[in-house]
Amino acid sequence: MKPKPDYTLYLVTDSTPAILGDRNLKTIVAEAMFGGVSIVQYRDKTSDTGALIRTARELHAITKSKGVPLLINDRVDVALAMGAEGVHIGQDDMDLPTARRLLGPDAIIGVSASTVAEALTAAEQGADYLGIGTVYATATKTNTKTPLRPSGVRAILSALSAAHPSLPTVLIGGLNEANIPRTLYQSSLPTHSPSGIALVSAILTSSTPYATASALRTAITTPFPLALSQTDKPLGYSYDHEIVTLFGTLQQNSPFLHILTNTVASPLSASVALALGASPIMSQHEAESAPLAAAGATLLLNIGTLTPATLPAYLTAAATYTSANRRMVLDPVGLGATPARAAAVAAILAAGYPSVIKGNEAEIAFLAGAPSAQRGVDAGTSERSLSEKARIAAKVADEQRCVVVMTGPDDVITDGTRSVALRAGHAMLGRITGSGCALGVAVAAFLAVSEDPFLAAIAACLVLEGAAELAMTANHVSGPGTFVPEWIDCLGRVIMQWDMSGRIDDIDLEGL
């Protein structure tokens, strides 16, 4: 009878000195199994055949005692010689039909897949599971292609979902306790989630394999705490009352914001945070992320004037806040203008999970894969219809599984399932520098006091843009210079003095 393995926590061994050092592989495997490793692949690219068979036999004695399947990497001959439960083959190894002929129908045969085509071929040829990766860049495998990232994993799962919906999949590459929960969340489709996570160095380099394996198992099986909740709001729902309540909560609770922003918009951003009732700290010090996250801050990452010197602080902040289950907002300022910005945003998105991404149309369109339309940091003009904008924003939201705010004369706010267009603001906002940056601050402030990132994003846009409309009614406001202070003054009283009704329209994504 063919076994049905539990793929939840899949250990891939590595005997190279850089990973294993002078530790004993058998002891590590035994301890890791006690900690929750549910399947083991013996991977050794250097030992000769006799040594491979000997070590595999010894490992098999350990795994068999716990009913854990042992698979051999690449070497069908070794698996046959010592009676392993199966093999794992890469794209350059023996082909699957041949391996199946040699090993028989009951052997477990897994195949590595890094593209949709490889995954579909392996599935059609009868693979028992797929190892999907490399998810993130890793030190273990240096010759790998561009990392798939969660969006690439989703593309593969989506291709499999039609003809092979129950084929088990295991993610591999650059995964660790900190990034597993959000990677699984961002990689899953509503109908299909990966079956497990494969790890090499996270377990093999640990001095406490039992504790490490059990922490990893918890990370795999615990739902992602920052997951977006499904809306229970019908189309046409009026958010006005909730926004007023949220504004009151913001002012009462004075949420703590950690703002890593650009040097142009920094003072305006701090002033806007204070005017909304939040408490900002502007910090670009890498060592401050952990204590600020621990103190309960909400993070804003704005890449406006990012440099090689400040990038590490952004990456550390993204990783630290996400693993501390604290929320962050990403403002990819100028994305598309230069390759350096694209690389920085890709690295930030690989390091952590933003609950909200806020950008102007060109920035969000670039994230959705459109060719760059951005010359600098300013929004520019667009030919796109509202429904095209919504489709683009929803694509990014769906890929990242977060809320996306696309600003412009009309803002589009979406979580990939529900979308609204928000009609408020004034063209004057496009004539001052940092209005979009200040909106990122407002999103972070509302995010800190709202369960629902979608509602927080709507509230932030409405308050900042309503305040701009209100400010423009003051007699003394004659241009951008006089506008900014009046705008800040209006932030605290916009809710009382400005009529917000009729500003939010649902966009029916189904109809697009």
Ligand X SMILES: Nc1ncnc2c1ncn2[C@@H]1O[C@H](COP(=O)(O)OP(=O)(O)OP(=O)(O)O)[C@@H](O)[C@H]1O
CB of 11 to ligand X, least distance (A): 45
* Residue 377 sits in the site that holds ligand X (CB under 6 A): yes
List Cβ neighbours of 170 (8 Å cut-off, separation of 6 or more): 7, 10, 110, 129, 130, 131, 132, 194, 195, 196, 197, 198
* Residue 425 sits in the site that holds ligand X (CB under 6 A): yes
CB of 331 to ligand Cc1ncsc1CCO, least distance (A): 8
Residue 262 binding partner per list ligand Cc1ncsc1CCO, ligand X, none, with a CB distance cut-off of 5 to 8 Å that depends on partner kind:
ligand Cc1ncsc1CCO
Residues found near ligand Cc1ncsc1CCO in the complex (CB under 6 A): 262, 264-265, 304-305, 333, 377, 433-434, 436-437
CB of 335 to ligand X, least distance (A): 10
Helices (runs of H) and strands (runs of E) counted in the chain = 21, 17
Q: Residue 370 carries which DSSP code?
A: P
How many residues sit close enough to ligand X to count as binding (CB under 6 A)? 23
Residue 305 binding partner per list ligand X, ligand Cc1ncsc1CCO, none, with a CB distance cut-off of 5 to 8 Å that depends on partner kind:
ligand Cc1ncsc1CCO
Q: Residue 237 carries which DSSP code?
A: -
CB nearer to ligand X: pick between 170 and 367? 367
Distance CA 268, CA 285 (A): 20
Q: Residue 302 carries which DSSP code?
A: E
Q: What is the DSSP string of 95-145?
A: -HHHHHHHH-TTSEEEEEE-SHHHHHHHHHTT-SEEEE---S--SS-SS--
| 437 belongs to the catalytic site | yes
CB nearer to ligand Cc1ncsc1CCO: pick between 268 and 494? 268
Signed CA dihedral, 241, 244, 246, 249: sign only: negative
- End-to-end CA separation in angstroms for the chain: 49
Our measurement of the distance from residue 145's CA atom to the centroid of its chain's CA atoms, rounded to an integer in Å, reads: 20
* Residue 429 sits in the site that holds ligand X (CB under 6 A): yes
CB of 510 to ligand Cc1ncsc1CCO, least distance (A): 34
Residue 32 binding partner per list ligand X, ligand Cc1ncsc1CCO, none, with a CB distance cut-off of 5 to 8 Å that depends on partner kind:
none
From the list 402, 437, 461, 490, the catalytic residue is 437
Q: Which of 131, 434, 453, 466: binder of ligand X (CB under 6 A)?
A: 434
CB nearer to ligand X: pick between 333 and 356? 333
Residue 209 binding partner per list ligand X, ligand Cc1ncsc1CCO, none, with a CB distance cut-off of 5 to 8 Å that depends on partner kind:
none
CB of 407 to ligand X, least distance (A): 3
Distance CA 309, CA 312 (A): 7
Answer for the pair 504, 493: CB distance below 8 angstroms, yes or no.
Answer: no
Binding mask 399-418 for ligand X (x = CB under 6 A): --------xxx-x-------
**Residues of span 457-476 touching ligand X by CB under 6 A:** 461, 464-465
Question: How far from 48 is each of 20, 44, 53, 75, CA to CA, in Å?
Answer: 18, 9, 9, 11
Q: Which residues are catalytic?
A: 437
